[in-house]
Amino acid sequence: MTARDRTRAPETPGSTRGPDRVPETPGAASGQDRTPETPGEASGQAPAPQGRPGTPMLDVRDLRVTYRNGERAVPAVRGVSFTLDRGQTLGVAGESGSGKSTMALSLLRLLAPSAEVSGEVLFEGEDLLTARWARLRAVRWSAASVVFQGAMSALNPVRTIGEQICEPILLHEKVGQREARRRAAELLDSVGVPSRRAGSYPHEFSGGQRQRIMIAMSLACRPDLIIADEPTTALDVMVQAQVLELLGELVRESGIGVIMISHDLSVLSHMCERLAVMYAGRIAEIGPSRQLIAEPRHPYTRALGRAFPTIGDPASRLAPAGLPGDPPTPSELARLSEGRGCAFEPRCSEAVAACRTETVELWPSGPRREAACLRVLEGSGT
């Protein structure tokens, strides 16, 4: 995508709301911006991110997130690193509680204040974890935006969808009402919702249409990156397939980078060229989707793979077929945090003694592939 005018520091339009991390009322300004900022900062002019030639659009380094509630600490993300180039699609898979949403939402600092985040999130070379709030808000929407599941709770019920799509355009770009309305109409048509319905309210649409409207909103300021967290989970299978198809088309046409989270490997392998499989807050395996699915190197990826085809199957969210035991509980995560050994070892049918004692990291497991498994390192985990 070409560089765009991203000079106006945005407010926080409703649809950037997180799913459940930060409760808020419909239509209220997003509660995600809770850190106090200096007076006048929010209205400051924020320059566009400047990508450096040869650097990835997104470079995530040793990302760690710990939720702290009093004495209790849950290390939900324990050292995640990856890169994403412009126009690339990365799927993030894993069982419930593996840290997918925490990881993705922390990239734009969309987590509740109880989340302590460290590491680096370099977006076009700029670390979003240390960026000032005004700067971060400029990046949200206009450079990187988020699509959540549950569009009804994210859309403002008392404003028309046309108004809601115009809002970020008017806030973030130097355009007038007429141009914003024209863009909103174009966006609605592009996601298959007739633009003549721009004056309708969210409750007048079906679940699938509302999710399409959310996608239109996320595209309103033509971002370079979309983070889609289970964007179709609440929809029935047919509508899910249509919305995914639409998202895929838009991504292919516009060259937007996407990070898509799902429990469902089949959805991700269809939509994304690369796949990261998360387990207990870490990446267990990462590489080209087709190769990961066809020849998984990590025993956990193999177990997840046995669970599909599962589009829309809620059972696969919690217990992939053939995989005994449960993922670590939050308190087990805390014990695991800095210890040696592989977090998956208690459930792994291929584990050896060293898996309990050795430090496990992501090691190269093939062209453009890595897996965090000692057996891969030994050359016997394939």
Ligand X SMILES: Nc1ncnc2c1ncn2[C@@H]1O[C@H](COP(=O)(O)OP(=O)(O)OP(=O)(O)O)[C@@H](O)[C@H]1O
Looking at the Cβ atoms of 60 and 143, the one nearer to ligand X is 60
CB 340 within 8 A of CB 358: yes
CB of residue 79 to ligand X, shortest distance in Å: 14
CA 231 – CA 337 distance, rounded (Å): 30
Closer CB to ligand X, residue 31 or residue 381?
31
Closer residue to ligand X, CB minimum distance, 74 or 213: 74
Q: Which secondary-structure segment (H or E) carries 372? A: none
CB of 314 to ligand X, least distance (A): 11
> What distance in Å separates the CA atoms of residue 226 and residue 220, rounded to the nearest whole number?
11
Distance CA 305, CA 264 (A): 9
CB neighbour burial string for 285-319, b if at least 16 within 10 angstroms, e if fewer: bbbbbebbbeebbbbbbbbbbebbebbbeeebbeb
Between 143 and 277, CB nearer to ligand X: 277
CA dihedral 121, 123, 126, 131 (to 10 degrees): -60
Q: How far is the CB of 100 from ligand X (least distance, A)?
A: 4
Question: Smallest distance from the beta carbon of 266 to ligand X, in angstroms?
Answer: 16
With a CB cutoff of 8 Å and minimum separation 6, the contacts of 263 are 93, 94, 95, 96, 230, 233, 310, 316, 317
- 257-261 β-sheet, strand order: 144-148, 225-229, 257-261, 89-93, 274-279, 282-288, 369-371, 363-366
Rank residues 10 and 231 by Cβ distance to ligand X and give the closer one. Answer: 231
Nearer CB in complex with ligand X: 18/168: 18
- Report the residue number, 8 or 263, with the smaller CB distance to ligand X: 263
- Which residues are near ligand X by CB under 6 A? 21, 67, 69, 74, 76, 94, 96-102, 112, 114, 263, 330, 333
Q: Supply the minimum distance, in Å, between the C-beta of residue 288 and ligand X.
A: 22
Q: What is the smallest separation between the CB atom of 190 and ligand X, expressed in angstroms?
A: 29
Residue 23, CA distances (Å) to 29, 203, 379 in order: 11, 21, 47
Q: List phi, psi (to 5°) of 210.
A: -65, -35
Structure tokens at 319: 């217990």
Q: How far apart are CA 220 and CA 170, in angstroms?
A: 10
Residues 6 or more apart in contact with residue 314 via CB below 8 angstroms: none
Q: What's CA 49's distance to the chain center, in Å?
A: 20
Is there a contact between 360 and 374 (Cβ–Cβ < 8 Å)?
A: yes
Shortest spacing between CB 30 and ligand X, in angstroms: 16
Taking the least distance from each CB to ligand X, the nearer of 155 and 333 is 333
Of 136 and 277, the one with the shorter C-beta distance to ligand X is 277
Residue 336 CB, shortest distance to ligand X, in Å, is 11
Helical (H) or strand (E) element with 211: helix 207-219
Q: Helix 207-219 vs helix 237-254: angle between axes, to the nearest 10 degrees?
A: 20
Minimum distance from residue 327 beta carbon to ligand X (Å) = 8
CB of 201 to ligand X, least distance (A): 29
